[in-house]
Amino acid sequence: MARNLRLLGFLALICASLSISGAAVIRPINDAHRSAALELFVPTNGSFGSLEEAYEALRTFQIFGVEKSTEISHATCPVVAEKLGSSSFISKDLFLALRVNSILGCQIDARTFEDVASKLQAVIKNASSLVDFHYGVEGLLHIKDQGISVALSDADGTFHSIKALSQSDGRWRYDSNSAESSTYAAGIALETLAGVVSLADKDVDQSKIGIVKHDIIKLFDSIKSYDDGTLYFDEKHVDASEYKGPLATSASVIRGVTAFAKVASGRLNIPSDKMLGLAKFFLSIGIPGCTKDLFNQIESLSHLEDNRVSIPLILSLPSTVLSLTTRDQLKVEVTTVLGSAAPPLTVSLVQAFRSDSKDTPVLENQELQFDSENTIHYLDIIPLKLDAGKYKLMFEISLHDPENLNTYATAGRTSVMAFITGSINIGKAEIGIFDSDSGKSEALQKLDLSRDSALSLAANHLQKLHLSFQLTTPLGHHFKPHQVLLKLRHETNVEHIFVMESSARQFKIVLDFLSLVEKFYYLSGKYEIELTVGDAAMENSFLRALGHIELDLPKPPEKAARPPPLPVDPYSRFGPKQEIAHIFREPERRPPKELSLTFLALTLLPFVGFLIGLMRLGVNLKSFPSSVVPASFSILFHAGIAAVLLLYVLFWLKLDLFTTLKVLGFLGVFLVFVGHRTLSHHASATAKLKSS
């Protein structure tokens, strides 16, 4: 159990890093989530690995309205039937199987269900831990949904036992032995209590239900929040073995609270902004990257979609970039978390602030019109005379039917960042070279910045370069973009970038080359001029090549800084390296083959001479023993010597020393034995001859 939870914690870490979109923009669930679910929940040959994973996949598909495939039923139903039909008492297995079966609707006969029901009743009667109660009660609830009549006999007692595990801060313990209380366990407990109430054959004591409602309020007091207004539940202590992460914990609490709100009569006094905060939390994680997180997200949002506490309504903008050139309208969508229609309401733009003047609103109290065909609230921004720039818009929702205020949760004020973009006019562009002592110069020439120019300027270090232009918005105001940069690039690719300042409604820069001589590393020559003007609200941001300027700078003194080394292409180190010329040892000069063969013959010549000499001397084999046994020993002796010599030849040709020594050992022993016999026989023979 602990190992599984550790795995879950690790999985949560991976899922957090795999999450696709950031937490900035909150949008209701849409088709992107649906296709992500289809991509993530992929069965292998129809089965999902375990019943838990199968349930996650099937429930997610059920919420998205994806049709059940027969392949999945064929693969999973046998497993379900086997688990339900087996005689085991493991309540977890029965619970998981019943859960999957409630979606798949496998063909299980009523007898099996009745057997399982009686087993679960026994589990509940003997249960002491929260999870046992949970499996038993939820299992019975699933069986009841199949049409079998089940009832919890001692509902009050069960309720009391579960309630006994609660703590004063609204959390629950897993069983009476554990010291730590857990928020996740609170969610399980509330769900189980709701199950007990709906299974009870007679009504449960209302005062007990009231106490649980009180516990829920206390549990919601421990809710945590992020800076962007999202709320979530998390454990008090992050204990590595049992820790499940805020997503799973919040999902568990929502499951429990919405289930309990369904069965409890009267209202739960949970403030609606907390439900909205929880909804925003689940929507702000974007599209999770792993199955467990996606399941928790979608299942919690489906519980929030139609719960009896308050249904959150999400205000979102389909597009946060509006263009003045294409005369876009400001469009706002208000839906439930899963994208269903909201009740009749009006959206009004309460205030709009420009990013550079955060105190004074540029717009106040504009009501948006409703387009019932596309269920979108819209506002024409052209008549409002809004200029290009970044805006913070504050919206407010007002429901038409005052009774809906209890059912739905709308935020007080929702703020959204939006861009209004437009085409910026560039005018009065001038460029020229000044002499530094005289104030004016006739050399100022007009520049057309709507396309690249090919100017050819020349200056020495005593002169100055002057460039100026004006930027105006579509409404005629002076525009200050985010980037206005002038770049001078030398032939050797050394670059210098200058930021242009804005003053008195125009952008101007004067490059005094006398002061820049050191910065330019005293490099004279041709410099390419480039002008960059860009901003997020500017539709026609540009990078213009203006031409080149020939700079004549003085010679660098000895101590001048050298220009920085040019960056080496970082991928060049993966290219081929320099060729290495190896120097090999010259092979020794060998003699010609014929000479060697001649000398080989010459070497063998003395052996021939030796044989001839032996014959001249009259060598004979007269003293070779004549009788059989000594003769055989003699032959063996000579054969042994020949064998050793042959071994030596083989050793030279291909054997190694160890094999040779091994064989030599055997041959030597043999030779010694045989030689001894032969020579002693010969010695005795000569001794006999001498004596006789």
Interface residues with another protein (CB under 8 A)? 588-591, 595-596, 599, 602-603, 605-607, 609-610, 613-614, 617-619, 641, 644-645, 648, 651-652, 657, 660, 664, 668, 675-676, 679-680, 682-683
CA dihedral over 401, 402, 404, 410, signed as positive or negative: positive
Tokens of 136: 């038993």
SS3 content of the chain, % helix, strand, coil (to 5): 45, 20, 35
Amino acid at 162: I
Give the nearer residue to another protein in terms of CB position, either 89 or 599: 599
Closest approach of another protein to the CB of residue 649, in Å = 8
Closest approach of another protein to the CB of residue 629, in Å = 18
Give the nearer residue to another protein in terms of CB position, either 556 or 675: 675
Give the nearer residue to another protein in terms of CB position, either 504 or 621: 621
Closest approach of another protein to the CB of residue 682, in Å = 6
First to last CA, the chain: 107
Give the nearer residue to another protein in terms of CB position, either 571 or 652: 652
Give the nearer residue to another protein in terms of CB position, either 385 or 616: 616
Question: Which helix (H) or strand (E) segment is 259 a member of?
Answer: helix 245-263
Cβ proximity of 384 and 499 under 8 Å? no
Which of 131, 178, 122 lies closest to 152, judged by CA? 122
Strand partners, 450: none
Closest approach of another protein to the CB of residue 663, in Å = 11
Which of 94, 282, 280, 250 lies closest to 186, judged by CA? 250
Give the nearer residue to another protein in terms of CB position, either 32 or 645: 645
Pairing of strands 329-336, 425-435: unpaired
- For 4, counting Cβ atoms within 10 Å of its Cβ (0-12 exposed, 13-18 middle, 19+ buried), the class is exposed
Which of 72, 27, 67, 24 lies closest to 49, judged by CA? 72
**Taking every pair of C-alpha atoms in the chain, what is the biggest distance, in angstroms?**
153
Closest approach of another protein to the CB of residue 650, in Å = 10
Torsion angles phi and psi, residue 156, rounded to 5: -60, -45
Number of residues assigned to the chain: 692
Closest approach of another protein to the CB of residue 583, in Å = 20
Report the alpha-carbon distance of residue 481 to residue 95 in Å, rounded: 62
Q: How far is CA 15 from CA 18, 27, 280, 519, in A?
A: 5, 20, 19, 50
Closest approach of another protein to the CB of residue 619, in Å = 7
Closest approach of another protein to the CB of residue 678, in Å = 9
Give the nearer residue to another protein in terms of CB position, either 354 or 681: 681
Closest approach of another protein to the CB of residue 624, in Å = 14
Give the nearer residue to another protein in terms of CB position, either 126 or 603: 603
Closest approach of another protein to the CB of residue 632, in Å = 18
Closest approach of another protein to the CB of residue 686, in Å = 8
Tokens of 60: 């997610």
Report the alpha-carbon distance of residue 161 to residue 166 in Å, rounded: 10
User: Measured at the alpha carbon of residue 190, what is the angle toward residues 184 and 194, in degrees to the nearest 5?
Assistant: 150
Give the nearer residue to another protein in terms of CB position, either 13 or 629: 629
Pairing of strands 376-380, 329-336: antiparallel
Give the nearer residue to another protein in terms of CB position, either 458 or 619: 619
Question: Which helix (H) or strand (E) segment is 333 a member of?
Answer: strand 329-336
Cβ neighbours for 622, distance < 8 A, ≥ 6 positions apart: none
Give the nearer residue to another protein in terms of CB position, either 577 or 688: 688
Tokens of 295: 């399941």
Which of 375, 551, 543 lies closest to 459, judged by CA? 551
Closest approach of another protein to the CB of residue 602, in Å = 5
Give the nearer residue to another protein in terms of CB position, either 494 or 647: 647
